[in-house]
Amino acid sequence: MDRYLEALERVRRTNPFAHLFALVDGLQHEAAFGQVLTAEQGVALFLGTPDEPLAHAGPWLIDVQAQHDLCSALADAELVAPVCSWLITAVPFPGLVQLLQNKLDMRLPDGKVALIRYHDPRVLRRLALTLRPDQRETFFEHIDEWHFMVDGQAFHVGRGQ
C-alpha cells in the first residue's frame, strides 16, 4: 500500500487535488476474501447498467481514504491474485464512477457490444499494450496514474506514456 501512497504524494506535487482509489474485481475479491463487497465499502460499477444482476462480481470503485483497512488488505492480496488496480486522479469519486462506467463497453466492428474487463489487471495490462497511442490517450485521459500488478510484477500507466 505504501508504494501507492508514495505515488499519490508524488502526483500531488503537480496535481494537489489528486486522490487514490482502488478498482476492485468483485469476483476476484470474493475468491480471495470469501465475501462479497458491500455498498458501505464502495460502488459497484455495474449498478444502473444491463449487467446490474452481476454487480457483486463486477468492478467496484473504492475510496482509499474512506476504506484504508480494506485497501491495505487488497494491496496484500494483489501480490497473489489479480484482485485490484489503483487509480490516482483529481476526478471526484462520483465523476470517476461515471467515467469508469462509460468505459465498460465497446462497440465491435460487427456492431455488437463487448464488455471490457479493464478492472482485471491482466486485461488492463494487455489493453495498455494493445491500444494505439490515440486510443490509449483517450482511455486513460483523466487518470494521472493507474497502477496494477500482474503475476507479481508492478506496472503503471500514466499520462503521456
How many structural domains compose the chain? 1
- Pair type for strands 105-107 and 84-89: unpaired
Question: 37 exposed, middle or buried (CB, 10 Å; 0-12, 13-18, 19+)?
Answer: buried
Rounded Cα distance between 102 and 70, Å, is 26
pLDDT in tens, 88-110: 999 999 999 999 999 999 888 89
Q: Please spell the DSSP secondary structure of 3-31, one letter per residue.
A: HHHHHHHHHHTT-TT-EEEEEEEHHHHHH
Give residue 51's domain range: 2-158
Over 60: is that where the pLDDT of 160 sits? no
* The residue count for the chain: 161
Residue whose cell numbers read 485490484: 84
Residue 16 confidence (pLDDT) above 90: yes
Q: Compute the average pLDDT of residues 34-39.
A: 96
Look up cell 510484477; give the residue: 153
Q: Rounded CA gap, 14 and 133, in Å?
A: 23
pLDDT band at 83 (very low <50, low <70, confident <90, very high): very high
Predicted pLDDT of residue 106: 85
Q: Is the pLDDT confidence value at 149 over 80? A: yes
In terms of pLDDT, which residue wins out, 93 or 113? 93
Give 159's pLDDT tier (boundaries 50, 70, 90): low
Q: Which grid coordinates belong to 133?
A: 497511442
Q: Is the pTM of this model over 0.85?
A: yes
Grid cell listed for 47 = 449498478
The distance from CA 149 to its chain's CA centroid, rounded to whole angstroms, is 12
Rounded to an integer, the average pLDDT of 25-38 is: 96
Question: Dihedrals φ, ψ of 43, to 5°?
Answer: -120, 125
At a CB cut-off of 8 Å and minimum separation 6, what does 4 contact?
A: 20, 64, 75, 86, 88, 147
* 74, pLDDT greater than 90: yes
pLDDT band at 53 (very low <50, low <70, confident <90, very high): very high
